[in-house]
Copies of this chain bind each other. A is one copy, B any other.
Amino acid sequence: MSQPAQLKFLTEDQVRQIATSHDLPLYVYSKSKLDENARKLTSWQAPYGVTLRFAMKANPFPEVIAQIYSHGIGIDASSGYEAEVAMQAGVKPTDIQITSQQMPENLEELIKQGVKFNACSLHQLETYGKIAPGSSVGVRINPGKGTGEGLNNRLTTAGVAASFGIWHEYIDQVHDLAKTYDLTIVMVHTHAGTGGDPDKWLEVTTRNMEIVEKFPTATKTSIGGGFKVGRMPGEKSAQIDVISPPIAKLLEEFYERTGRKIHLEVEPGSFLVVNIGALITEVIDIKDTGSEGYNFILINAGMTEILRPSLYGAQHPLVVVPKKERPAGEVVDYAVSGHCCESGDMLTVAAGDPERLEPRSLQKAELGDYLIVEDVGAYCAGMRAGSYNSFPLTKEIMVD
């Protein structure tokens, strides 16, 4: 039996205070943690300039977007709708770049406002060419290999099994279309990396620069996002100060060899927001299935607030906070069940295997206690089965 996890940024008293003044469940985001992450990211050094963008699909809460933007970090939008949410949150159109599987229907209007666009397919490039002939544009290329590949097909952002971007063998067709519509390919985008290993990041960036070399007019390149943030004890997080220097060196070597100074773009989602969020839920039931069975905690939230465990077998720290202060007592192995009438609505599943229950050591809970799901800042409120079982959408707040 392992030690129960501790609260990450809230105190027990804060949890109790927030719980008495708000309906539960509730997502709580920390402005100071967000600032801390933004400062880490903005320390990124690149020899010929760097543009940082927040992959807002990770957390489209307007206050989160605005706070990140206040650090000079722009927006990577995965849809035209995201671009509009960002603008409503106060982001200038010129600080937004769309890289999307689905071309916005109002792309022409968005471009006129100054939004940047990366074409993710030959069809997108041609459509763009018709809308804005004679202009500059980026292209997303699938470089054929990524670090996510093989680990888990659902982390594959590059390679033959990924539908993202233009397959690298079709670069000639990109040039043909650019010629037809008098387009200047100013940006080459690949997103092939995931994780925190600096060697892997150097590897995918090396491959990225091979692609850049095939676009003589490109002055910028984006290596996407995917910088890992550890949630559980022992999980390591990507370190910007370790990952970025070899990439800077690579850009310098590229300049020495080709005479081209390439401006770097980076688009993290999780890195900025994973650890800024805690979901405050209430323990609504405690039950067990006998001496050969499990001890269950049921909470008033579930896949309606956090789908990642059911979807991927994702691991999030869980912390019991007593409703009224009491001395730390016994530690119990609990299976934590969501409130949906759905067998798969479980928060304590085996890593990467959502079909296997794996109880977690938690402080012994009482009815009415709070159960805090930590590290819910990324891909939780933004990617939830929010209205399943007709539950109302859970709200989000930001605290200092």
Complex contact A167–B287 (CB within 8 A): yes
The answer, among B166, B289, B367, for a CB contact under 8 Å with A160, is B289
Contact B382 A286, beta carbon cutoff 8 Å: no
Q: How many copies does the complex hold?
A: 2
Q: Mark A225-247, 1 if CB is under 8 A from B, else 0.
A: 00000000000000000000000
Contact B123 A294 (CB under 8 A): no
* Chain A positions 328 through 371: 1 when the CB is less than 8 Å from some CB of chain B, otherwise 0: 00000001011111111010000000111100000000010000
The yes or no answer to A2 lying at the interface (CB within 8 A) is: no
Q: Is the CB of A343 within 8 A of B290?
A: no
With A79-B389, A123-B286, A164-B341 given, can you name 20 additional A-B contacts, CB distance below 8 Å?
A: A57-B342, A82-B390, A99-B341, A101-B284, A101-B338, A102-B298, A121-B287, A123-B285, A153-B344, A154-B342, A160-B290, A160-B292, A163-B298, A163-B335, A167-B288, A310-B311, A311-B344, A312-B344, A386-B386, A386-B387
| Pair B290/A102 contact, Cβ less than 8 Å | no
Q: Is A148 an interface residue (CB 8 A)?
A: yes
Enumerate chain A interface residues (CB-CB to B < 8 A). 55-57, 60, 78-79, 81-82, 84-85, 99-103, 121-124, 142, 144, 148, 152-157, 159-164, 166-167, 169, 284-290, 292-294, 296, 298, 300, 307, 310-312, 335, 337-344, 346, 354-357, 367, 382-392
Question: B383 and A163: CB pair below 8 A?
Answer: no
